[in-house]
Structure 1
């Protein structure tokens, strides 16, 4: 049956041409979009924008904070007490961007061991946060919760192993985590960090979607009972050298040291970067929507043409098992679309990324596993969507109606959810319940609970994991195919 259905598909030039056109659209629009993007940040046209730091795992990161440090040669320990932790927040209108006292939830003050002062270098830190208690974080993406009421912190190094501890009384110490930093040199920097991410707010837009704004904040921490002596060096790591609004009006901004007490003020964050850092590999697959519509047309015609020309009776006479016939047709259209989509995506992604970088654009690095998942997952999305459209065609037996239903089920929810037409909450539910959930397979950047960002669908973040999104689409396709088989068995061909 599969061989017979494959013969039908490849001998109808219009169907085969339609599929080839769909795959060509993926490549063509991806390359065209890459050619059309040129970023310039310097005085001269074409001067490339500075790229964000790259962390030890190869990901783009944020690494900007107040760093008070000294050399640590070999193993060692640093213990200190946070006597005070305060800050300022810029409130959004209608308060007219007023600076008021307060800490953002992920403001950070703590102890850190870092492989030098280069932004993006490896580190481990034990810290007190604005609203999430004590945490042990390392290498930007890793986070482990500690006690909520501790103010005494300790960090130790033994070879490549860094351990973080916390205590409420400096007597009973609880180990939060032990982490390994491979390749850590003998001489590193040990000291204090103070960071305060932007105050990110999101509000409904006047025409749907959300308006996201990020405003200045700064934190100040007082460390006492510091058990290390020697000279401390203050550095605004990763900063451009400019003064913040707070520093312009406060003489003790930065570092104020009196004996064993250090008062440190800082802004910024030590965390993974989001899509604000640049484009992702998902941006190269802009032709997917147009390709989907072309695939829908071919998939629907693959079954409705036989009904329209009354050839389906001949097919069922030659192969009486109607359910198997429909399954064979679904397997053929799914396999052909998957193969073509895989080839198109495998060509488009690396080629478009190369062209975007050649145009001075920073494309956020992705791991090999993420790249494979985006390419293979996009092909699976196309294939499952083709099976869904085919099943709707078998159920309705009307070509135009079936294509319209497929577009309403897959394309329309995706457009509504990702173009800021709907509120973020409604967009999230669309991408959980409709077949458009499968687009989660194209999310190139993970979301992190320790980063205060909206992570909205319009920014390329989806509410479901990649595999779960594909399962939603597979469920819709399976249900439609089951209904089509049931109708075909009961009704006259």
Structure 2
């Protein structure tokens, strides 16, 4: 008769692992130097951020350093936006539509004085002309628009961050583009046509909080033309050229209740003062003749990029120093047992060696996470306040983004601590493990963001190395509909925030797995 195999008692297994966790936590908290080091890590992270913020002064509009920057538009989602365009509009109450035929979209590009080049004809890729329904003329207010762009065909865009592609191509007198935008309740739908008879839907939108009476009309805008020159040894130099666009509209038809009925003309987002650029060529405006509108405008209606102000992750400059302290503690958490011969006692108490190392990793990871979370919660709002008081413009972000930066920073430090612990278990020597951890965590980030490498190499470093995890701190995303220089030097990472953190977590898991194998195969 074959005896049955008795399955292990799972609650007992769980209780054993909880005992291991408690034992490792007791080891950690009873070593006063480690506990103090964690407090130092948090303090260093905060203080270095405060010192950096206090030493950063800027001036706005030519005023003295420390002068507070004027408010900039904030979109319905809470992000910083550009909202400047020429607007020919009238009121629309309730449901309705606007239909136009666009027969021409042209533009100019020029350098500003004093290096003033000849004005040349040309359209930047994201110059826009089309129809829009917007919550008034206040910059940053909700809207939906159907536009023809310089090189990206017809697009439907709304609330600055949303973009839907229509058909490609341009417009001319021989081949015009018809555009239509309709409103039904809270739903706005965009259409395009080549003949004004057969219409194709581009997309739909639900602008945030659009009132029953909104402004409907024509828009034209043209963002700056960004040029980038590569440095001889890495890095780049950026220059933005001033541009204008001109759209010619006819067959303009507005259906629905339009109180007043007259067209108004506004340059949304204009400061009232002309720049040196604008004094040298045709100002924004509109000419109306025989039912046709020739509208000229410049600017952009889109999210702001990271190059247009400081970012909240600039408040976390002390994270590198704090991470080094955490790495040292994490390595000592395992190597001190090897140095003193205590690892044998630890393994006798927990003969399943993989579980012992897992318990150490959980303890050091949680301690590092709490340390980083406390530091980030203090540093981000405090340093942001100081930066703004010193006249710096800090790009606003949504609450979820700010929360992700804070929690992501804590997770980054936790993963770095676990990775360092694993290296300590592999090398069993403190100096070697600490050096390896700092080199692979910090050096790639420094090289990629310090303009010492070609941009392609910098991008690959932040894809393939553990330093990819710093992407979790990126607060301003890359927008396909915004021309920008999306490189690490300007605060952009090649991987999405959580994907970048996942790279470090994968390295930590791999190192931990190798450490478990070594611990099982070799005598402690």
TM-score, normalised via structure 1 length: 0.94
Tell me the distance in 2 between the aligned counterparts of 1:280 and 1:308. Answer: 44
The alpha-carbon distance between structure 1 residues 319 and 180, as it changes in their structure 2 partners (threshold 3 A), is closer
1:68 Cα deviation after fit: 1.6
Tell me, yes or no, if structure 1 residue 486 matches structure 2 residue 506. no
Match of 1:224 in 2: 250
Say whether 1:185 aligns with 2:219: no
Instruction: Give 1:336's aligned residue.
Output: 367
What's the counterpart of residue 11 of structure 2?
none
Cα distance, 1:249–1:17 mapped onto 2, change above 3 Å: closer
Whether the aligned pair in 1 keeps the contact of 2:419 and 2:437 (CA below 8 Å) is yes
Tell me the residue number matched to 2:464. 433
**Quick check: 197-206 or 244-253, which moved more?**
244-253
8 Å CA contact 2:86–2:284 kept in 1: the answer is no
2:54 maps to 1:40:
no
Contact 1:80–1:226 under 8 Å retained in 2: yes
Match of 1:324 among 328, 336, 355: 355
Conservation of the 8 A alpha-carbon contact between 1:164 and 1:178:
yes
In structure 1, runs of 5+ residues without a counterpart are none
Check 1:182–1:61 CA distance in 2 against 1; reply closer, same or farther (3 A cut).
closer
Matched, 1:143 2:135: no
Q: Equivalent residue for 2:228?
A: 202
Structure 2 residue 484 is the aligned partner of structure 1 residue 472: no
Shift of 1:387: 0.8
* 1:182 to partner: Cα distance: 4.3
- Relative to structure 1, the CA distance from residue 387 to residue 472 in structure 2 (aligned partners, 3 Å threshold; closer, same or farther) is same
Say if 2:128 and 2:149, in contact at 8 Å, map to a contact too: yes
CA distance in 1, matches of 2:363, 2:66: 48
Secondary structure of the structure 1 residue equivalent to 2:253: coil
Matching residue of 2:200: 174
In 1: Cα distance, 2:35 partner to 2:399 partner: 32
Deviates further, 54-63 or 271-280: 271-280
Distance 1:225 1:252 in 2: 25
Aligned to 2:334: 303
Task: Give secondary structure in 2 for the equivalent of 1:81.
Answer: strand
Offset, 1:278 = 2.4
Shift of 1:248: 4.5
In the superposition, the TM-score normalised over structure 2's length comes to: 0.89
The CA deviation at 1:414 is 1.0
Shift of 1:234: 2.6
Residue 153 of structure 2 is matched in structure 1 by: 133
Counterpart of 2:479 in structure 1 is: 448
**Residue 155 of structure 1: aligned partner:** 181
Q: CA deviation at 1:246?
A: 7.6
Cα contact 2:242–2:277 (8 A) shared by 1: no
Q: Indicate how the Cα distance of structure 1 residues 266 and 70 shifts in structure 2: closer, same or farther if over 3 A, else same.
A: same
Q: Partner residue of 2:131?
A: 111
Partner of 1:4: 23
Offset from partner CA, 1:284-342 (integer Å, 9 cap, x none): 11111011111111111111122222222232233322222222211211111112211
Looking at structure 2, the residues matched to 415 and 287 of structure 1 have their Cα atoms a distance apart, in angstroms, of 14
CA RMSD of aligned residues (A): 2.2
Q: Which moved more, 1:105-114 or 1:276-285?
A: 276-285
Aligned-partner SS, 2:494: coil
Structure-2 change in CA distance of 1:370 and 1:403 (3 Å): same
